[in-house]
Chains A and B, each alone.
Chain A
Amino acid sequence: MEWETVIGLEVHIQLSTQSKLFSGSSTAFGAEPNTQASPVDLAMPGTLPVANAEAFRYAVLFGLAVNAQINHRSVFERKNYFYPDLPKGYQTTQLAEPIVGAGEVHIQLADGSTKTVRIHHAHLEEDAGKSLHEDFHGMSGIDLNRAGTPLIEVVTEPDMRSAEEAVAMARHLHSIVTALNICDGDMSQGSMRFDVNISVRPKGEEKLGTRTETKNLNSFRFMEDAIKLEVERQIDVLESGGKIIQETRLYNGDTRTARAMRSKEESMDYRYFPCPDLLPVVFDDEYVEHLRQQMPELPEAKRQRFMDSYGLSAYDANALASDRGTAAYFEAVADDSGEPKLAANWITGDLAAQLNQTETAIDACPITPEQLAGLIKRLADGTISSKIAKQVFTAMWEGEGTADEVIEKRGLKQVSDTGALEKMVAEVIASSPQQVENYRNADEKKRPKMLGYFVGQVMKTSKGQANPQALNEILLKKLEE
């Protein structure tokens, strides 16, 4: 039987506000345990929450970015459960009346097509602290620095049909929140975490299959892997006559395995009710309009603009527009060099590979956009060949200066001077009589391949600096003689 995968996401986005959702404590990552926990965060008796207006602003910006209904009145509720890293014994969150209602986004798929994914809603809530189970001699340590950090939880409709689509959606959300500058997007620090609801159904069937939820995936790679694993498992179960149990599952990225955590029957009754310590969050049209004016250009619009005004392919435009830093870098290089396509190729090619390999963020790239533009200009005006350009690129990465400086210092200027090239060609022809003989006797079809030998020899003598086009012309002429 052919199966169809159905995926919905719940995404936790940690907001980069200065202070927590309900207290003035800092939200900075990496401080000594419990140094960023005030009496409010510790849920000391008699303390009260005061909501952080900046978090509302971030949530509204997000809502506008996903074309969603902005609810002018939203209500915080208490979600009750006991856990040592949940100081109050309840999480303050939103349920019946979230700040962001239904919306939709358009994601770019690998084949260049776009797909609409609907957003069910997005709400504000506070994060829990962390339980540390090692190094405490059989006890657990509690770090409440993270407790109370503001999150937006985004819940999508089950609109994705493959792991690839789910990851494309996740990446799209990542690009939106980083473009809005409301989240640092650092997945390694848990700034974005994904819960994935997965079910399968026979192709053509409309009724949804029983779903499972795989929780807390914190990288795109894990997400893709976990989905594929779960889809495979569900199909195996169904094909061998079994039934899917609605359950929560945990994926382990190290072993690439997943296990059931708890089934629906064991699921908790959170006894939600409106938090009596907080008033409903209310704002007017003017506030929303004011924020709409402040919206930066979003990845979707940027992608279109890169295609329209720089003539990029959908694929390149998507790759460059998704990340705010990369997009800005590209625009600087493209504008400075006047060669947007070359700029796109270098940034998605050599530069991306080098950044990736050295785990460097684009903002910390040792090659400035001006320097890369300088390189591209020399490539475009024929001063250097693309082969030499790679050498110049490496030198610039190592900090040897601008492209012109590197070219000058290392003497990498391309030899286009006909006299010099003719001399080199003459030497090669003189020292390779057999090859010349063979070439001249060969038929037309075989000749281009045989020409490679002579090009190689001249390149060797010229240390790669011979202008390939000029060299080709001279060689052909000389060999015909």
Chain B
Amino acid sequence: MHKLSLAELAKGLRDKSYSSVELTEHYLDRIKRLDGNYNSFITVTEERALEQARAADQALAAGNTSPLCGVPIAHKDIFCTAGVKTTCGSRMLDNFVPPYDATVVENLGRAGCVTLGKTNMDEFAMGSSNETSYFGLVKNPWDTNCVPGGSSGGSAAAVAAQLAPVATATDTGGSIRQPAALCGLTGLKPTYGRISRWGMIAFASSLDQAGTLARSAEDTALMLGAMASFDPKDSTSVDKDVPDYTAALPDKIAGLKIGIPKEYFGEGLNAGTEQRVKEAIAELEKLGATLVDISLPHTHLAVPTYYVIAPAECSANLSRFDGVRYGHRCDDPQDLLDMYCRSRGEGFGNEVKRRILVGTYALSAGYYDAYYRKAQQIRRLIKQDFMEAFKQVDVIAGPTAPSVAFPFGAKKDPVAMYMEDIYTIATNLAGLPGLSLPCGLVDDKPVGLQLIGGYFEEARLLNVAHQFQLATDHHRHTPANID
């Protein structure tokens, strides 16, 4: 059963080939037996999952037509789940049980999804290797000596190891697409504002966006349709109709203009990765697309710009974790300052502290203009680059990450780690949708092809990815040791 796609699972549930309870038990059993190898879950909600599965079976029997009814999924532990511990990968929230559901959790719950549990992640979504989690690192099912990518490393590993058919994730600078690339999955970061951020613990509010990690574009389309909604509880949510994302999947892509940015094939890109990405682009050409050489001239400024804006926002977003109302509080505080210092000192890990310090510095009197204001100006230039490009092309294609999965501890220098997101970050700064899909292997590890679209062009990205996946079988490759 765990080999099946979402659409196949949905069909099986409707045909009564198996019940949601049976399907859920199957996945829970796999998690129990296998997740010791990957550490992809922080919390497994067995009882609740079975309860939800029983309810789904009743709904199916009563004629529920939601394509996701009874399908088990996993949620990144950044989404608040009412009554279920939500840690964000941090000691700070090791004791935090929210009294509310994130809108994403609510929407998928309404669609009939069964929640298997909460997946591991880099602490507060800060990291590209899932090595910063308080709950231990996550291993890549393709090579357990290597990282799964991050920050949605737990969701990626869980789906790659087939411990869940699909998982929710979030992407602030590449946290969905880079793990998708490193774990051989299809990962979509929609347009900023497409999916509500309510109940999603904030890292950098102007960049954070929810999405999915799945095994195909088709599965992704099913998920996106259920997750996306206008949410009056999120002022940055966009009031725009949610289309049927599966409708355009079968469209041919002949005549589609695909932009190839020269800046995405420069220094720092691994030769093997470049080879696979170019082959994939050639495949798209074979499917009738026209390739257009384009330039995104401010690409080299994306990483430094991001590492001013994201830390600045996070330095304020994480101020609420002060030990006063919830979360970690140090033992026996002597006074207020001692409580603040030790609660935060003990509750946050080093990468989180580094970014809070960087952000605090960037916003300080005397530095604000040089850093924060300047970064906002460059952010506009980066957005303009894309706007110019989309005057000529429909979709932009390039690599998702500079190389395949790397061994644990290989990138101890923070800046080396930050360069992991060199191709994904600009998309977040511009608020555009981006999708990564598998396009072959290098050293038996997956490579990701990234597609970037115009605002709210998710359907087009999914269409291109789906046509590619009809013509190729890269997305069907699974880690060797998965039975």
Which listed residue, B205, B321, B326, touches A277 by the CB 8 Å rule? Answer: B205
In contact, A271 and B364 (Cβ under 8 angstroms): yes
User: Does B244 interact with chain A (Cβ within 8 Å)?
Assistant: no
CB of B340 closer than 8 Å to a CB of A: yes
Binds B, one of A45-53, A148-156, A389-397: A45-53
* Contact yes or no, B325 A89, CB < 8 A: no
The stretch from B113-121, B213-221, B311-319 touching chain A is B311-319
Contact A80/B363 with A46-B198, A49-B235, A87-B325 known, Cβ cut-off 8 Å: yes
Verify A42–B325 contact, CB threshold 8 A. yes
Q: Are A45 and B88 within 8 A (Cβ)?
A: yes
Give the dominant DSSP class at B's interface.
loop
Name the residue of chain B whose CB is nearest to the CB of A85: B324
Interface membership of A448, Cβ < 8 A = no
Are B312's CB and A48's CB within 8 A? no
Q: Is A273 an interface residue (CB 8 A)?
A: yes
Contact for A51 among B79, B235, B322, CB less than 8 A: B235
Contact assessment for A80 and B319 in the assembled complex, using a CB-CB cutoff below 8 Å: yes
Listed stretches B96-104, B257-265, B276-284; interface member: B96-104
Residues of A within 8 A of B205 (CB): 276-277
Docked-complex contact A46 and B102, CB < 8 angstroms: yes
Q: Which chain B residues numbered 163 to 217 have a C-beta less than 8 Å away from chain A? A: 197-202, 204-206
**Could you tell me if B372 and A45 are in contact, using CB atoms closer than 8 angstroms?**
no
Which B residue sits closest to A131, measured CB to CB? Answer: B336
What residue of chain B has the Cβ atom nearest to residue A83's Cβ?
B336
A271's nearest neighbour on chain B, judged by CB, is B363
> Hey, what's the 0/1 contact readout for A71-88 against B, CB within 8 Å counting as 1?
000000010101010011
A78-B316, A82-B322 known; A45 and B98 CB under 8 Å? yes
Closest B residue by C-beta to A90: B316
Residue of B nearest to A89 (CB): B319
Q: Is A314 an interface residue (CB 8 A)?
A: no
Q: Which of A42, A47, A78 has the most C-beta atoms of chain B within 10 angstroms of its own C-beta?
A: A47
Assess whether A48 is in contact with B234, with CB atoms less than 8 Å apart: yes
Return chain B residues, CB-CB under 8 Å to A269: 364-365
Known: A39-B99, A46-B102, A48-B198. A87 touches B363 (CB 8 A): no
A261 at the interface (CB under 8 A from B): no
Which B residue's beta carbon lies closest to that of A42? Answer: B325
Contact with B along A34-59 (1 / 0, CB 8 A): 00000100111111111100000000
Q: B365 contacts which chain A residues (CB < 8 A)?
A: 269, 271
Tell me which residues across on chain A come within 8 A of B88, comparing CB atoms.
Answer: 45
Q: Which of A80-113 contact B (CB under 8 A)?
A: 80, 82, 84, 87-90
Say whether B320 contacts A279, CB under 8 Å. no
A420 to B325, CA, bound (A): 82
Closest to B196 in A: A48
Chain A min CB distance to B273 (Å): 33
Q: A49: which B residues are within 8 A, CB to CB?
A: 235
Query: Is A142 an interface position by the 8 A CB rule?
Result: yes
A45 CA / B97 CA spacing, docked (Å) = 10
Using C-beta atoms within 8 Å of the partner chain, give the interface range for chain B: 35 or more
Give the docked Cα–Cα distance between A90 and B205 (Å). 15
Kindly state the separation between the CA atoms of A88 and B202 in the bound complex, as whole angstroms.
12
Is B240 positioned at the interface, with any CB of A under 8 Å from its CB?
no
Cross-chain contact B96 with A45 (CB below 8 angstroms): yes
Is B93 an interface residue when CB atoms closer than 8 A count as contact? yes
Is A46 touching B324 in the complex (CB atoms < 8 A)? no
Contact of A46 among B200, B232, B315, B322 (CB under 8 A): B200
Set of chain B residues within 8 Å of A455, measured between Cβ atoms: none
Chain A interface bracket (under 10, 10 to 19, 20 to 34, 35 or more): 20 to 34
* A278 part of interface (Cβ distance < 8 Å): yes
Asked if residues A87 and B200 are in contact (CB atoms below 8 Å), the reply is no
Complexed CA–CA distance, A46 and B318 (Å) = 11
Please, which residues of chain B bring their CB within 8 A of the CB of A89? 316, 318-320, 322
Among residues 7 to 54 in chain A, which have CB atoms less than 8 Å away from a CB atom of chain B? 39, 42-51
Q: Does residue B56 face the partner (Cβ distance < 8 Å to A)?
A: no
CB–CB A87/B320 < 8 A: yes
Which residue of chain A lies nearest to B309 when distances are taken between CB atoms in the complex? A276
CB-nearest residue of chain A relative to B87?
A45
A281 smallest CB distance to B (angstroms): 10
B39 at the binding interface (Cβ < 8 Å): no
Q: CB < 8 Å: which of B96, B320, B340, B360 contacts A88? A: B320
Cβ of A344 to closest chain B Cβ, rounded Å: 50
With A90-B319, A273-B368, A273-B372 as given contacts, are A48 and B235 in contact (CB-CB < 8 Å)? yes
Task: Using CB atoms, name the residue of chain A closest to B202.
Answer: A46
A44 touches B316 (CB 8 A): no
Contact partners of A47 in chain B: CB under 8 A? 100, 198-199
Is B236 interfacial (CB-CB < 8 Å)?
yes
Are the CB atoms of A48 and B197 closer together than 8 Å?
Answer: yes
**Whole-angstrom CA separation of A271 from B368 in the bound complex:** 8
- Chain B residues near A51: list those with CB within 8 A: 235
Q: Is the CB of B322 within 8 A of A273?
A: no
- Tell yes or no: B286 within 8 A of A by CB: no
Bound form: Cα–Cα A88–B325 in Å: 10
Tell me the minimal C-beta distance from A145 to chain B in angstroms.
Answer: 14
Q: Nearest-CB distance from B283 to chain A (Å)?
A: 39
Q: Is the CB of B316 within 8 A of A273?
A: yes
B80 at the interface (CB under 8 A from A): yes
Q: Which of A42, A43, A271, A279 has the most CB of B within 10 A?
A: A271
CB within 8 Å for A44 and B235 given contacts A89-B320, A276-B206: no
A312 to B326 alpha-carbon distance, docked (Å) = 61
- Judge whether A277 and B235 touch: CB under 8 Å: yes
Chain A residues, CB < 8 A from B372: 273
Contact with A along B219-238 (1 / 0, CB 8 A): 00000000000001111100
Quick one: closest A residue to B326, CB to CB? A44
Q: How far is the CB of A379 from chain B (nearest CB, A)?
A: 60
CB proximity to B under 8 Å, residues A361-378: none
What are 20 A-to-B residue pairs whose CB atoms are below 8 Å?
A45-B86, A45-B93, A45-B202, A46-B201, A47-B199, A48-B235, A49-B235, A50-B234, A80-B319, A82-B322, A90-B319, A142-B325, A269-B364, A271-B360, A271-B363, A273-B312, A276-B205, A276-B206, A276-B236, A277-B235
Not counting A82-B340, A271-B365, A277-B205, a sample of 5 additional A-B residue pairs whose C-beta atoms are within 8 angstroms of each other reads A42-B325, A80-B315, A88-B316, A271-B316, A276-B205
Interface on B for A, CB 8 Å cutoff? 79-80, 86, 88, 93, 96, 98-100, 102, 197-202, 204-206, 232-236, 312-313, 315-316, 318-322, 324-326, 336, 340, 360, 363-365, 368, 372
